[in-house]
C-alpha cells in the first residue's frame, strides 16, 4: 500500500509503532546482524533520556552527540528529543579542532559519546561528558518517561554542521517539519510503501542521512539497516540477507560496491530504488549500476541548508535521472541570480540557484556573517553551485523545467584565464576502465596560474599513467582543456570530511 504520513514528530511516531507493533524491527545492524524492535528502540531512548535530564536541568539546552553511525546514533537522537534538549549532531569522523569549534559555537552543556571518544573529549574541552553505556543502545533496559515539553514540528530541534571542504564548519538549524515535507517528496519519487526495507550508508547527523535513516523509514514504519562504518562486502551481504529494497548511498559508495568482487556474486535483485547524491555521479557509472542491479537511481538536488530544489522520480527517463538533477520541485520557488543577487532566471544560466519554500532549514546558528552570505538581500537562500535550468521541451519525458549542475562557484580551475569545471573533468576521467574513484583539483602554476590535477583510486589489479589517461580522453573526443595535466595515484580512499564528501583542500598533501 502507498504511504500517507500524518504530520507527527519522530517521538510520536516511534511511540505509535511501539504500541501498534512492538516486536516489529526498527533497525538492524549491517555488520553484526543485531536487530532492535520498535518497543526496544523507545525503551532504550527513554533510559538514555533519563541520564541526560539528570545532568541537564533546563529544557532546550544544547547537548552534543558524538556517536558512531548506526543504531546507537538513532537512540541518542530520539533520547535527546525525549529529554527536551536540542541535539548537536557531530560527525563521527570529526577532528579535535572541528569538535571544539562546534561545542563553543553552540554553547553545548553536555557531550554524549562512547568510550572510544570520551578521553579525547575530556582532554580538549571542559564540557561535561556522558559516556553512552553500550547496554543503553544494545541490551534490554527498563523504564520509560515522557518528554518534559514535547517538541513541535516547527521548533528548533536539531543542529548539525555543514560538510564543506574548507575552513571550520557552520552550524545549521533544523526543525522536524522540513524533513517530514522532504519525506513526502521521497515517498512520491520512489513510490515507497510499507513493504519496503531500507538501507542507509550515509552519515546520520547530516541531511541526507537524517531523512534516509531517521525520518523516512520511521515515518513509514519500515526497518532500516545501518552500520557504524561503510564496508562494501558487508553492504552487499546485507542487501541479500535483509532483502533491502531502498538504498541510500553517495556515488563513491556505489562505485566501491561495483568494484567489490561480491557485487557479481550476491543476490541484489531486491533493490528497486537507490537514492544518491552529495557529489557527481558519472553517467556511465550510473548506467552500469542500473543495468547490473535492475534498481533505479534517484536523487534530490539541494543541501543541508536548503533541503532540495529539484528531484528525479521513477517517472523520469534515464537521461533526466542520470544527466540532470531533475525537475524543479513544486512548492519550492527557485530562481537564478548573478554575483550581485540580481535575477537572471530568464537566461537559463549558468548561474547560482536560490530558493524559498517548506524544505529550507532555519539558517545558521549564531552566525550573522554566514547568514548574510547564505541569503540574497531579499531573503532567498543560495546554493554554492552553478546550474542551468532548461525548458521541459529539451527533455520530452519531463513535465517541468529541469536543473543541471555544471560546476561549483568555488570548484573552478582557472588556467590561463579560462575557467575549467572540476566536476566536468571528474565526469570524463572517471570513464577510464582502471579508475574506481577520482577527484580533480587545481595545482598552482607560475605560468598559467593553475593546472588541472587528477587524484585517482584505481581498481584492483590495474595501473594507469597520465599518458594512458589522456589517450583515453582523446579517443573519447574530450577537449584538451579537460585533460588532467598531473595524475596522482591514491592508495585506499580519497580524503574525506566528517560528512563523507571528498575533502578537496586535503588533496594537495597527497602530492608530497
DSSP state of 386: E
The 3-state DSSP class for residue 280 equals coil
SS3 assignment, position 482: helix
| Cell 559516556 sits on residue | 131
Length of the chain: 512
310-311 and 62-66 beta bridge pairing: unpaired
Strands of the sheet with 273-276, listed across from one edge: 35-37, 25-29, 224-226, 198-200, 246-248, 273-276, 296-301, 310-311, 327-328, 402-408, 385-390
For the chain, the first-to-last Cα distance in angstroms comes to 56
Name which of 22, 17, 77, 21 is nearest 45 in CA terms.
77
User: Is the backbone of residue 294 left (phi > 0), alpha (psi -120 to 50) or beta?
Assistant: left
> Which three-class secondary structure string do you get for 2-45?
ECCCCCCCHHHHHHHHHHHCCCCEEEEECCCCCEEEHHHHHHHH
pLDDT of residue 417: 58
The answer to whether 125 and 103 have CB atoms below 8 angstroms apart is yes
C-beta of residue 345 within 8 angstroms of C-beta of residue 335? yes
Amino acid 410: pLDDT: 62
DSSP secondary structure string for all residues of 116-174:
HHHHHHHHH--SEEEEPPHHHHSS--------SSPPPTTS--EEEE---SSSSPPEEEE
Task: Name the grid cell of 246.
Answer: 531502498
Residue 242 C-alpha from the chain's centroid: 23
Q: Please choose, from the candidates 7, 162, 18, 20, the residue with its C-alpha nearest in 3D space to the C-alpha of residue 82.
A: 18
Q: Are 140 and 67 in contact (CB under 8 A)?
A: no
| pLDDT for the residue 146 | 53
Cell numbers at residue 331, please? Answer: 512548492
User: Alpha-carbon distance 491 to 463, whole Å?
Assistant: 12
3-state secondary structure of 211: helix
For residue 396, the model assigns a pLDDT of: 55
All cell numbers assigned to 474:
582523446
The grid cell for 259 is 568494484
Q: Rounded to two decimals, what is the model's pTM? A: 0.84
Q: What is the DSSP string of 176-232?
A: HHHHHHHHHHHHHHHT-BTT--EEE-S-TTSHHHIIIIIIHHHHHT--EEE-SS--H
What whole-number distance in Å separates Cα of residue 147 and Cα of residue 83?
Answer: 5
Longest dimension (CA), the chain: 69
Q: What is the pLDDT along the chain (512 residues), one digit of tens a residue?
A: 344 445 799 999 999 999 999 999 999 999 999 999 999 999 999 999 999 999 998 999 999 999 999 999 999 999 999 999 999 999 988 888 889 999 999 999 999 999 999 999 999 999 999 999 765 444 444 444 555 789 999 999 999 998 543 457 899 999 999 999 999 999 999 999 999 999 999 999 999 999 999 999 999 999 999 999 999 999 999 999 999 999 999 888 898 899 999 999 999 999 999 999 877 788 998 999 999 999 999 999 999 999 999 999 999 999 999 999 999 999 999 999 999 999 999 999 999 999 999 999 999 999 999 999 999 999 999 998 899 998 756 665 546 789 999 876 767 787 865 768 888 899 899 999 999 999 999 998 876 778 999 999 999 999 999 999 999 999 988 878 889 999 999 999 999 987 788 988 899 999 87
pLDDT at res. 394: 61
- Give the pLDDT of residue 135: 53
- Residue 378: is the preceding peptide bond cis (ω within 30°)? no
Cell numbers representing residue 270 in the block? 531486491
Collapsed DSSP state (helix, strand, coil) of residue 381: strand
pLDDT (0 to 100) of residue 358: 96
- For 19, residues 6+ apart whose C-beta sits below 8 A from its C-beta are none
H or E element, residue 245: none
C-alpha of 323 from chain center: 20
Amino acid at each position: 500500500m502507498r504511504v500517507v504520513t500524518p504530520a507527527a514528530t519522530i517521538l510520536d511516531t516511534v511511540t505509535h509503532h511501539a504500541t501498534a507493533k512492538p516486536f516489529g524491527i526498527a533497525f538492524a545492524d549491517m555488520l553484526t546482524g543485531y536487530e532492535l524492535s520498535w518497543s526496544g528502540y523507545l525503551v532504550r531512548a527513554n533510559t538514555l533520556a533519563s541520564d541526560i535530564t539528570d545532568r541537564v536541568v533546563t529544557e532546550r539546552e544544547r547537548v552534543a552527540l558524538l556517536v558512531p553511525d548506526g543504531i546507537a546514533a538513532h537512540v541518542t537522537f530520539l533520547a535527546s528529543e525525549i529529554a527536551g534538549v536540542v541535539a548537536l549532531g557531530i560527525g563521527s569522523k570529526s577532528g579535535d579542532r572541528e569538535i571544539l569549534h562546534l561545542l563553543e559555537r553552540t554553547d553545548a552543556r553536555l557531550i554524549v559519546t562512547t568510550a572510544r571518544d570520551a578521553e579525547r573529549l575530556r582532554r580538549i574541552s571542559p564540557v561535561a561528558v556522558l559516556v553512552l553505556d553500550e547496554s543503553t543502545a544494545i541490551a534490554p533496559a527498563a523504564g520509560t518517561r515522557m518528554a518534559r515539553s514535547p517538541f513541535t514540528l516547527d521548533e528548533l530541534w536539531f543542529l548539525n554542521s555543514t560538510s564543506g571542504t574548507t575552513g571550520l564548519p557552520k552550524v545549521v538549524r533544523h526543525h522536524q517539519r522540513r524533513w517530514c515535507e522532504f519525506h513526502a517528496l521521497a515517498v512520491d519519487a520512489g513510490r515507497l510503501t510499507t513493504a519496503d526495507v531500507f538501507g542507509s550508508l550515509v552519515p546520520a547527523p547530516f541531511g541526507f542521512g537524517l531523512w534516509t535513516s531517521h525520518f523516512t523509514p520511521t515515518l513509514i514504519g519500515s526497518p532500516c539497516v545501518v552500520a557504524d562504518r561503510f564496508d562494501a562486502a558487508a553492504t552487499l551481504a546485507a542487501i541479500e540477507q535483509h532483502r533491502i529494497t531502498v538504498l541510500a548511498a553517495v556515488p563513491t559508495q556505489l562505485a566501491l560496491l561495483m568494484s567489490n568482487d561480491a557485487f557479481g556474486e550476491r543476490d541484489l535483485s531486491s533493490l528497486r530504488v537507490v537514492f544518491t547524491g552529495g557529489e557527481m555521479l558519472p553517467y556511465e557509472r550510473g548506467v552500469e549500476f542500473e543495468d547490473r542491479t535492475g534498481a533505479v537511481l534517484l536523487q534530490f538536488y539541494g543541501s543541508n541548508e536548503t533541503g532540495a530544489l529539484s528531484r528525479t522520480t521513477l517517472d523520469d527517463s534515464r537521461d533526466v535521472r542520470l544527466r540532470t538533477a531533475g525537475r524543479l520541485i513544486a512548492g519550492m520557488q527557485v530562481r537564478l541570480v548573478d554575483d550581485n543577487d540580481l535575477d537572471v532566471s530568464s537566461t537559463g544560466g549558468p548561474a547560482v540557484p536560490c530558493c524559498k519554500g517548506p524544505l529550507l532549514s532555519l539558517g545558521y546558528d549564531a552566525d550573522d556573517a554566514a547568514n548574510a552570505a547564505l541569503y540574497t538581500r531579499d531573503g532567498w537562500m543560495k546554493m554554492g553551485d552553478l546550474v542551468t535550468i532548461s525548458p521541459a521541451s529539451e527533455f520530452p519525458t519531463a513535465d517541468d523545467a529541469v536543473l543541471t549542475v555544471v560546476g561549483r562557484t568555488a570548484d573552478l580551475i582557472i588556467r590561463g584565464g579560462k575557467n575549467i569545471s572540476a566536476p566536468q573533468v571528474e565526469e570524463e576521467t572517471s570513464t577510464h576502465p582502471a579508475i574506481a574513484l577520482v577527484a580533480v583539483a587545481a595545482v598552482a602554476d607560475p605560468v598559467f596560474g593553475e593546472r588541472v590535477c587528477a587524484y585517482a583510486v584505481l581498481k584492483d589489479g590495474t595501473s594507469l599513467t597520465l599518458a594512458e589517461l589522456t589517450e583515453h580522453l582523446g579517443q573519447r573526443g574530450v577537449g584538451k582543456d579537460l585533460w588532467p595535466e598531473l595524475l596522482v595515484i591514491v592508495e585506499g580512499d580519497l580524503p574525506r570530511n566528517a560528512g563523507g564528501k571528498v575533502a578537496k583542500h586535503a588533496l594537495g598533501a597527497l602530492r608530497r
